[in-house]
Structure formats: structure tokens, C-alpha cells
Amino acid sequence: MTNQMNGAEALVKMLEAQGVRHVFGLCGDTSLPFYDAMRGMDHGITHVLTRDERSATYMADAYARVTGHPGVCEGPSGGGATYILPGLIEASESSYSVLAITSDISVGTYGKYPLTEVDQDALMRPLTKWNTVIKQAVHIPRMVRGAFRAMTTGRPGAAHLGLPYDIQYDPVDPSDIWADPATHTFPAYRQGPEPGAAEAAVDAILSAKQPLIVCGGGVVISGAWEELARLAERLDIPVATSISGQGSLADSHPNMLGVVGSNGGTDETWEAMEAADLVVFMGIRAGSTTTARWEAPKPGTRIVHFDSDPMVIGANYPTEVGVVGDLRLSLAEVNSVLDGREVMGFGGALVVAERKARKFARFRALAESDEAPIRPERVIATLNRLLPPDATIVSDPGTSCPYMSAYYQQDLPGRFFITNRAHGALGYSLSASLGAWYGRPASKTVALMGDGSFGFTAGELETVTRHRAPITFVVFSNANFGWIKASQMADKGARYYNVDFDRVDHAAVAAAYGVKSWRVEDPAELDKVMTEAIAHDGPTLVDVVVQPLEEAAAPVRRWMG
């Protein structure tokens, strides 16, 4: 490290000190010093040039989900700062650590109506856990440390650093370049529950007759699946999840019931929610989707709630016992309490087996159908059969999401299924899958999306081919915004309005970007094509013409009534 360092160089060295190895972003005029520092310095960071700032943030989000390291994205002032917003709100609300760095106009030009002027501080504040526009270069090191500390501690979330153009040239003392290794990953500085809380939770659970554990994303973020498995097995208690909670246990675990709620839940899993006399919420906010707009748990059902964020305890249900702390530490304490007790199991594995048998018998009848257009269930069954156990699947929140959540069988605990459930922006999976692949390159990465979603970020196929990422993209093509059309069918008496668009040959579009691609209309061809696509050593896309959602049996509660 030289004795002279400017602000842009200080930022690069601070990112290196924080353990950053990948930055996803898009160039701009106000980022010139930062890019020059990235080009000229020895730092070990791979910069991935994207085609859209939204995509950069989605990549950073998925990278954070699979690695447990904060994802970092960057973009220029003006339009770049506004485009980067969707990924920040998704990361914050999904409790993942993502840092957005946006360069900005010079401090010296504030108020003089320069090109791309926008109040970045005000713009980012509602969407982030921590946010600042740096006004002096000497502040850069401590502001980076502050951003990483905020992102990784407590409930993880997004942070934003604004970096004005002129301070990128101002001097910074190299001796201030240091970082706290504990904030290289999240959750950092985990906090355990207060004394007596775990014991009170155990007392409540053991006094129930039909308890049910419902897990959210907090279990996976904390890496608490081993402690959860130990608890579920010793009490033989059924475990359900929200969509974000998939991976809390492997789907093959005898106590894992599956996703419950209005999206991805089925009648069989909902029966467990309605029958429970005590529900244990773990790392979940008990929001509208998991509870089918608070249809269950029903009034009078006893509630025990574990979460790292005290604000969610009692937010939606009167809570008998609240346990505030990191999920892994809290569940370890629960298991420690149980070590000293004689307990009888609740017979959950038998109940789970019976309900899953009914669910998958119905699924197989649909998945084996030779109907055309192809049933989405057949696509899921094909992926279930062909993908390796450690495959990473990224799904947009549209057509593919409820089918994957209900029927895909994940063989390993952990974050192997990713979807942006907090705000559900379309266009997520195509770009996020590249971040997931960079974070876990040895895993086969598959991105699922509807054809409406494909149109949002199709330009990132160039990014994928440039990096030769062996991602397989699967497009569920039904020539409409299927989720809204199905909702118009269910809620508006099939009065359809402005939800259909022309059919596109997505395989041809992908081929133009250099992606090996297929279009499948005949169900008999699906297995062969998908096998070849998954095995290919490079990016592939399979455009599957599928049954429209308004004609389907999708596991979405409001459409099935």
C-alpha cells in the first residue's frame, strides 16, 4: 500500500479488507475514478459488468443468499441510482445483506442543477437498513465499516453508500484502511435469548396436543437447520415452512410437511395449519401469504414465536411466549433444555407421511399427463428427477414459484431454492441466477421464469454468455401475465383485461445472444431436451409452452376456492 491514496482507491481497499470478492455493477460518468482504481489496483475482486443496475442488485442479492457473505453492487448517479432501488428493498425485506454503492455528482456542484442530480440520501433512506452519502473522502473507511456492521448484525438488511465524484480524488490516510473480520459474513455478533425464554417455550410446546412448527427464512439465514432437525426428531413434531423458509429442513426429512399458506401451499399442508392447537413460528413474520391473509392460525390458537427481530413478536397474533435471539443460538438453547427432560413425541412423522402421500398422488396424476400445452407439474417432475441434490434453483415469483414451492423436493437443507418473495418483482431470476452461480460455482444453477418475466431482463443473457456461466434457464411460456390473468379469473369473474401479449420464440431470442436453446411444445420431448440442457457445459435455455395459469390447478389458495 502506497503512502498516497485517493477516495476511490480507499473504497476499493476497504471492500478488499471487508472480504469482498465480487462486485456486480454498471459503469457511468460519475464512476470513472472508482473504475480506474478497480483497474489499476491489486485487490482480488472480480467486477461483473451487467446490462442493468436492477440486475446488478439482484445478482448481489442471490450471491448473499448462497454464500452468507454480503453481496455488493454498484451503479452511477441519476438513472443508475433509481434503477438500483428494486433490489435493495427486496434484500432489506428478505433480511439479506446487500451493499449498493452509487457514485454521485460532485459535492461542489450541489444545488447548481448538474446533470443526474438527485437526493440519493432521501431516495435510499426508506429502502435500506443503513444509508449515507459521503461528504468527505476521509469518512470513506469508517462509513464502509459502518455499512457492513449494520448489514450483518441484528436482522440483516441492505445498505447504501453514495460516493460523490469529487471526493473520489481527495486524499485518504492509508492507515485507516481496516475492517472487522466478524462483519465479513452474516449474521454477525449473534445474540442468544434472554434467560428463561427457551425454557418457557419448551414448557408451552410440551403442553400442546397438536403443535406445528412453521419456519421462515430466518432459520436458513441463521444456518439453524441442524438444531431444528434435532428438535423436530426428538419431539417428532411436524414442520412446515413459508416459501422463504424452504430449506429449513430437507424435503426428504420425515418431519418436513412442506410449504403452507396461500402460495405454494396445498389442501394437505393447510389441514395441519388449521388443526394445530399451538403454532411455533420460527424466523418468520407470520404475514399474509403464510397465513392465507391470517385465516389460520385461528383465534385462540396458542402461539410461540422465535425471531431475531423483536418487532415481529406479537405483531399479528397474541403471543404466549416470545423468544428473541439468533435462531441457531435459540434452538441450541431449546435443545439444551430438552436434554434434561423425559419427553414423548407427538407422532408428527406419521401425520406428515399421510398428508404428503395424498399431496403427491394428486401431483403425479397431473405431472404424468400428456396434455398439450404442457402442464407445469410435468416440468417440475422432470426437474425433480434430473437435477443433482445440490442444484441451486432461482425462481421468479410468477408462474413457476407456486409449483416449485409445493412440489419440488430439495434433498439438502440450506438455501438451494431462491425466490424474491418480499416484493415479487418480475425479472429477478434471470439475472439473480448469475450471482448465485458466482457464489456457488460448483452447483448446477437453474433459473425459472414466466415469459412475462423473461422480457424484463433478457439483456442479461449477454452477461451470462460473456462469463460462460453454465446456467440453465427454463421459461414457462403462456403468452400472458399469468398470475394477474388467473386472479382476474378467480376474483373478477374471468373479465380479462390487458394481460395478454404476443407469443415470443424465447429460444430464438436466447440463440441470438449465444445461448444454446430449445423450444418444447410436445410433452414427450421434455425429458430428452431438459437432460441435454442440464448437462451442457455452457448457458442453455428451454422455452416450454405451458398450460395457462387460469386453466391450471396451480397451488394458489385464492384460485382454488
The pLDDT tens digits along the chain (561 residues) read 457 899 999 999 999 999 999 999 999 999 999 999 999 999 999 999 999 999 999 999 999 999 999 999 999 999 999 999 999 999 999 999 999 999 999 998 988 899 899 999 999 999 999 999 999 999 999 999 999 999 999 999 999 999 999 999 999 999 999 999 999 999 999 999 999 999 999 999 999 999 999 999 999 999 999 999 999 999 999 999 999 999 999 999 999 999 999 999 999 999 999 999 999 999 999 999 999 999 999 999 999 999 999 999 999 999 999 999 999 999 999 999 999 898 999 999 999 999 999 999 999 999 999 999 999 999 999 999 999 999 999 999 988 999 999 999 999 999 999 999 888 899 999 999 999 999 999 999 999 999 999 999 999 999 999 999 999 999 999 999 888 888 898 889 999 999 999 999 999 999 999 999 999 999 999 999 999 999 999 999 999 999 998 888 888 988 775
Beta 130-133 vs 158-164: how paired, if at all? parallel
Domain boundaries, the chain: 7-184, 197-351, 368-559
Residue with C-alpha cell 456486480? 24
What integer pLDDT is reported at residue 482 of this predicted model?
86
Task: Tell me how far apart the alpha carbons of residues 93 and 423 are, in angstroms, rounded to a whole number.
Answer: 8
The cell for 538 is 455452457
In CATH, which of 3.40.30.10, 3.40.50.1220, 3.30.360.10, 3.10.180.10 is domain 197-351?
Answer: 3.40.50.1220
Q: Is 546:374 a contact under the CB 8 Å cutoff?
A: yes
What integer pLDDT is reported at residue 464 of this predicted model?
98
Please choose, from the candidates 472, 482, 468, the residue with its C-alpha nearest in 3D space to the C-alpha of residue 520: 472
**Whole-prediction pTM:** 0.96
What integer pLDDT is reported at residue 138 of this predicted model?
97
Query: Between the CA of residue 60 and those of 50, 161, 233, 253, 394, what are the distances in Å?
Result: 11, 15, 35, 31, 13
Q: How far is Cα of residue 226 from the mean position of the Cα atoms in its chain?
A: 21
Q: Are 197-351 and 368-559 the same fold in CATH?
A: yes
What integer pLDDT is reported at residue 551 of this predicted model?
87
Please choose, from the candidates 69, 332, 302, the residue with its C-alpha nearest in 3D space to the C-alpha of residue 181: 69
CB-CB neighbours of 469 under 10 Å: 18
DSSP assignment of 444-478: PEEEEEEHHHHHHHTTHHHHHHHTT--PEEEEEE-
The cell for 472 is 440453465
What integer pLDDT is reported at residue 1 of this predicted model?
45
Please choose, from the candidates 24, 54, 48, the residue with its C-alpha nearest in 3D space to the C-alpha of residue 426: 54
Task: Tell me how far apart the alpha carbons of residues 212 and 210 are, in angstroms, rounded to a whole number.
Answer: 7
What integer pLDDT is reported at residue 486 of this predicted model?
86
Q: Is 151:158 a contact under the CB 8 Å cutoff?
A: yes
Task: Tell me how far apart the alpha carbons of residues 14 and 23 are, in angstroms, rounded to a whole number.
Answer: 13
Residues 6+ apart with CB under 8 A from 313: 305, 307, 319, 322, 324
Q: Is 490:551 a contact under the CB 8 Å cutoff?
A: no
Task: Tell me how far apart the alpha carbons of residues 281 and 230 are, in angstroms, rounded to a whole number.
Answer: 17
* Exposure letters 331-346 (e unless 16+ CB within 10 A, then b): bbbbbebbeeeeeeeb
Residues 6+ apart with CB under 8 A from 284: 214, 215, 216, 217, 218, 242, 244, 245, 290, 307, 312
Whether cis (ω within 30° of 0) applies to the bond prior to 187 is: yes
Question: CATH class for domain 7-184?
Answer: alpha beta
Task: Tell me how far apart the alpha carbons of residues 146 and 538 are, in angstroms, rounded to a whole number.
Answer: 39
Q: Which CATH superfamily is domain 368-559 in?
A: Thiamin diphosphate (ThDP)-binding fold, Pyr/PP domains (3.40.50.970)
* Opening angle at CA 192, ends 339 and 200, nearest 5: 50
307: helix, strand or coil: strand
Task: Tell me how far apart the alpha carbons of residues 438 and 443 are, in angstroms, rounded to a whole number.
Answer: 10
Residue with C-alpha cell 427464512? 217
Q: Is 436:62 a contact under the CB 8 Å cutoff?
A: yes
What integer pLDDT is reported at residue 422 of this predicted model?
87
